[in-house]
Amino acid sequence: MIKDLNFRNFGLIDYDNALDLMKKHIQEKEFKNEIWFLEHNPVFTLGTAADKSHILDAGSIPIFQSDRGGEVTYHGPGQLIIYFLLDIKQLNLGPKSLVKTLQKFIQLLLEQYSIDSNFVDGAPGVYVAEKKIASIGLRFSKGKSYHGVSINVDMDLSPFLKINPCGYENLSMTQVTEFYKDITIKQLMQDATSIIKDLYISK
Protein backbone atom coordinates (compact mmCIF):
# COMPACT_ATOMS: atom_id res chain seq x y z
CA MET A 1 0.00 0.00 0.00
CA ILE A 2 1.02 3.64 -0.49
CA LYS A 3 1.12 6.24 2.24
CA ASP A 4 1.15 9.21 -0.13
CA LEU A 5 -0.36 9.33 -3.59
CA ASN A 6 -0.69 12.52 -5.63
CA PHE A 7 -3.52 13.06 -8.13
CA ARG A 8 -3.05 15.50 -11.01
CA ASN A 9 -5.38 16.70 -13.78
CA PHE A 10 -3.67 17.77 -17.02
CA GLY A 11 -6.83 18.36 -19.06
CA LEU A 12 -6.43 18.06 -22.84
CA ILE A 13 -2.79 17.49 -23.81
CA ASP A 14 -0.91 16.20 -26.86
CA TYR A 15 0.32 12.63 -26.52
CA ASP A 16 3.98 13.40 -27.11
CA ASN A 17 3.98 16.14 -24.48
CA ALA A 18 2.45 13.81 -21.90
CA LEU A 19 4.99 11.10 -22.71
CA ASP A 20 7.88 13.54 -22.21
CA LEU A 21 6.45 14.57 -18.84
CA MET A 22 6.06 10.95 -17.74
CA LYS A 23 9.63 10.07 -18.68
CA LYS A 24 10.96 13.04 -16.74
CA HIS A 25 8.84 12.19 -13.73
CA ILE A 26 9.99 8.58 -13.35
CA GLN A 27 13.63 9.72 -13.52
CA GLU A 28 13.29 12.20 -10.68
CA LYS A 29 15.46 11.43 -7.65
CA GLU A 30 12.62 12.37 -5.33
CA PHE A 31 10.09 10.19 -7.11
CA LYS A 32 6.48 10.54 -6.01
CA ASN A 33 3.71 8.06 -6.75
CA GLU A 34 1.19 9.89 -8.89
CA ILE A 35 -2.03 9.30 -10.82
CA TRP A 36 -2.51 11.55 -13.85
CA PHE A 37 -5.92 12.26 -15.39
CA LEU A 38 -6.05 13.68 -18.90
CA GLU A 39 -7.45 13.52 -22.39
CA HIS A 40 -5.46 13.44 -25.62
CA ASN A 41 -5.90 15.26 -28.87
CA PRO A 42 -6.64 12.80 -31.71
CA VAL A 43 -3.74 10.39 -32.26
CA PHE A 44 -3.05 6.78 -33.21
CA THR A 45 -0.34 5.29 -31.01
CA LEU A 46 1.75 2.23 -31.72
CA GLY A 47 2.96 0.08 -28.85
CA THR A 48 6.27 -1.74 -28.84
CA ALA A 49 4.63 -4.88 -30.26
CA ALA A 50 2.65 -3.01 -32.91
CA ASP A 51 2.40 -3.99 -36.55
CA LYS A 52 1.88 -0.87 -38.66
CA SER A 53 -0.28 -2.86 -41.06
CA HIS A 54 -3.02 -2.68 -38.42
CA ILE A 55 -3.42 1.00 -39.31
CA LEU A 56 -5.81 0.73 -42.22
CA ASP A 57 -6.34 4.41 -43.06
CA ALA A 58 -4.97 7.04 -40.70
CA GLY A 59 -6.25 9.93 -42.82
CA SER A 60 -5.36 13.23 -41.16
CA ILE A 61 -4.90 11.71 -37.68
CA PRO A 62 -1.22 11.66 -36.65
CA ILE A 63 0.57 8.42 -35.82
CA PHE A 64 2.97 8.24 -32.87
CA GLN A 65 5.39 5.47 -31.96
CA SER A 66 5.08 4.98 -28.22
CA ASP A 67 7.19 3.00 -25.77
CA ARG A 68 4.22 1.36 -24.03
CA GLY A 69 3.43 -2.28 -24.45
CA GLY A 70 0.75 -3.53 -26.78
CA GLU A 71 -0.51 -2.83 -30.26
CA VAL A 72 -2.19 0.10 -32.01
CA THR A 73 -4.98 2.16 -30.46
CA TYR A 74 -6.68 5.53 -30.80
CA HIS A 75 -6.88 8.38 -28.31
CA GLY A 76 -9.14 11.40 -28.61
CA PRO A 77 -11.24 13.89 -26.65
CA GLY A 78 -13.97 12.25 -24.59
CA GLN A 79 -11.72 9.35 -23.64
CA LEU A 80 -10.43 9.42 -20.07
CA ILE A 81 -6.73 8.59 -19.81
CA ILE A 82 -5.37 7.60 -16.41
CA TYR A 83 -1.62 7.25 -16.13
CA PHE A 84 -0.21 5.27 -13.19
CA LEU A 85 3.26 6.47 -12.26
CA LEU A 86 4.03 4.10 -9.42
CA ASP A 87 6.91 2.51 -7.57
CA ILE A 88 5.80 -1.07 -8.11
CA LYS A 89 8.49 -2.36 -5.75
CA GLN A 90 6.94 -0.31 -2.96
CA LEU A 91 3.55 -1.76 -3.88
CA ASN A 92 5.02 -5.26 -4.08
CA LEU A 93 3.48 -5.67 -7.51
CA GLY A 94 4.92 -7.26 -10.61
CA PRO A 95 3.95 -6.17 -14.13
CA LYS A 96 1.33 -8.91 -14.55
CA SER A 97 -0.22 -8.30 -11.15
CA LEU A 98 -0.41 -4.56 -11.85
CA VAL A 99 -2.28 -5.25 -15.10
CA LYS A 100 -4.76 -7.43 -13.22
CA THR A 101 -5.17 -4.74 -10.57
CA LEU A 102 -5.90 -2.15 -13.27
CA GLN A 103 -8.46 -4.44 -14.89
CA LYS A 104 -10.19 -4.86 -11.55
CA PHE A 105 -10.08 -1.09 -10.98
CA ILE A 106 -11.83 -0.43 -14.31
CA GLN A 107 -14.40 -3.11 -13.58
CA LEU A 108 -15.17 -1.57 -10.18
CA LEU A 109 -15.44 1.87 -11.79
CA LEU A 110 -17.90 0.67 -14.41
CA GLU A 111 -19.98 -1.00 -11.72
CA GLN A 112 -20.67 2.49 -10.36
CA TYR A 113 -22.82 3.00 -13.47
CA SER A 114 -24.39 -0.48 -13.49
CA ILE A 115 -22.18 -1.60 -16.38
CA ASP A 116 -21.26 -5.29 -16.26
CA SER A 117 -17.84 -5.86 -17.77
CA ASN A 118 -15.55 -8.82 -18.42
CA PHE A 119 -11.98 -9.73 -19.33
CA VAL A 120 -10.61 -11.67 -22.30
CA ASP A 121 -7.70 -14.06 -21.81
CA GLY A 122 -4.58 -12.86 -23.61
CA ALA A 123 -6.09 -9.49 -24.47
CA PRO A 124 -5.52 -6.99 -21.62
CA GLY A 125 -8.33 -4.53 -21.31
CA VAL A 126 -11.96 -4.51 -20.27
CA TYR A 127 -14.96 -5.49 -22.36
CA VAL A 128 -18.73 -5.18 -22.25
CA ALA A 129 -19.92 -8.41 -23.83
CA GLU A 130 -17.64 -8.61 -26.90
CA LYS A 131 -17.03 -4.87 -27.26
CA LYS A 132 -13.96 -3.21 -25.79
CA ILE A 133 -14.56 -0.25 -23.50
CA ALA A 134 -11.10 0.24 -21.97
CA SER A 135 -7.50 -0.48 -22.91
CA ILE A 136 -4.37 -1.03 -20.84
CA GLY A 137 -0.81 -0.28 -21.91
CA LEU A 138 2.16 0.03 -19.58
CA ARG A 139 5.91 0.55 -19.53
CA PHE A 140 8.29 -0.33 -16.70
CA SER A 141 11.63 1.29 -15.99
CA LYS A 142 13.83 0.71 -12.94
CA GLY A 143 10.95 -0.52 -10.84
CA LYS A 144 8.61 2.29 -11.89
CA SER A 145 5.47 2.06 -14.02
CA TYR A 146 4.13 4.64 -16.43
CA HIS A 147 1.38 4.89 -19.07
CA GLY A 148 -1.84 3.25 -17.88
CA VAL A 149 -5.45 2.92 -19.00
CA SER A 150 -7.80 4.60 -21.47
CA ILE A 151 -11.55 4.46 -20.89
CA ASN A 152 -13.95 5.35 -23.68
CA VAL A 153 -16.46 7.72 -22.11
CA ASP A 154 -18.18 10.08 -24.55
CA MET A 155 -16.14 10.28 -27.74
CA ASP A 156 -16.20 9.85 -31.49
CA LEU A 157 -15.54 6.13 -31.93
CA SER A 158 -15.29 6.25 -35.73
CA PRO A 159 -11.45 6.52 -35.82
CA PHE A 160 -11.29 3.01 -34.36
CA LEU A 161 -12.73 1.84 -37.70
CA LYS A 162 -9.51 3.05 -39.35
CA ILE A 163 -7.42 0.51 -37.42
CA ASN A 164 -7.51 -3.03 -36.13
CA PRO A 165 -7.79 -2.01 -32.47
CA CYS A 166 -5.13 -3.71 -30.34
CA GLY A 167 -4.24 -5.78 -33.42
CA TYR A 168 -7.62 -7.51 -33.71
CA GLU A 169 -9.62 -7.41 -36.92
CA ASN A 170 -13.28 -6.51 -36.52
CA LEU A 171 -12.93 -5.70 -32.82
CA SER A 172 -15.85 -3.44 -31.92
CA MET A 173 -15.49 -0.60 -29.45
CA THR A 174 -18.05 0.83 -27.06
CA GLN A 175 -18.18 3.59 -24.44
CA VAL A 176 -19.76 4.50 -21.14
CA THR A 177 -22.44 6.79 -22.60
CA GLU A 178 -23.94 3.88 -24.50
CA PHE A 179 -25.01 2.50 -21.12
CA TYR A 180 -25.12 5.56 -18.86
CA LYS A 181 -26.14 8.68 -20.75
CA ASP A 182 -25.48 11.38 -18.17
CA ILE A 183 -21.85 10.59 -17.35
CA THR A 184 -19.16 13.28 -17.56
CA ILE A 185 -15.39 13.04 -17.56
CA LYS A 186 -15.37 15.03 -14.32
CA GLN A 187 -17.69 12.57 -12.57
CA LEU A 188 -15.69 9.62 -13.83
CA MET A 189 -12.49 11.19 -12.49
CA GLN A 190 -14.05 11.72 -9.07
CA ASP A 191 -15.30 8.14 -8.86
CA ALA A 192 -11.98 6.80 -10.18
CA THR A 193 -10.08 8.74 -7.51
CA SER A 194 -12.18 7.19 -4.74
CA ILE A 195 -11.64 3.66 -6.03
CA ILE A 196 -7.89 4.16 -6.53
CA LYS A 197 -7.57 5.45 -2.98
CA ASP A 198 -9.33 2.34 -1.70
CA LEU A 199 -7.04 0.08 -3.74
CA TYR A 200 -3.68 1.73 -3.13
CA ILE A 201 -3.60 4.05 -0.13
CA SER A 202 -2.87 2.69 3.31
CA LYS A 203 -5.40 3.65 5.97
| Every domain of the chain and the residues it spans | 6-197
- Cα–Cα distance between 20 and 98 in angstroms, integer? 22
Beta bridge partners of 79: 152
- Predicted confidence pLDDT, tens digits, the chain (203 residues): 677 899 999 999 999 999 999 999 999 999 999 999 999 999 999 999 899 999 999 999 999 999 999 999 999 999 999 999 999 988 888 999 999 999 999 999 999 999 999 998 878 899 999 999 999 999 999 999 999 999 999 999 999 999 999 998 989 999 999 999 999 999 999 999 999 998 876 54
145-170 per-residue burial string, b: 16 or more CB within 10 A, e: under 16: bbbbbbbbbbbebebbebbbbbbeee
- Cα–Cα distance between 57 and 23 in angstroms, integer? 30
Residues 41 and 77 sit within 8 Å (Cβ to Cβ): yes
**Residue 203, pLDDT score:** 45
According to CATH, the topology of domain 6-197 is BirA Bifunctional Protein; domain 2 (3.30.930)
**Residue 123, pLDDT score:** 80
**Residue 202, pLDDT score:** 56
Q: Of 99, 115, 151, 166, which is the active-site residue?
A: 166
Ramachandran assignment for 116, one of left (phi > 0), alpha (psi -120 to 50 degrees), beta (any other): beta
Residues 75 and 42 sit within 8 Å (Cβ to Cβ): yes
Beta bridge partners of 149: 82, 136
**Residue 48, pLDDT score:** 94
**Is 166 annotated in the active site?**
yes
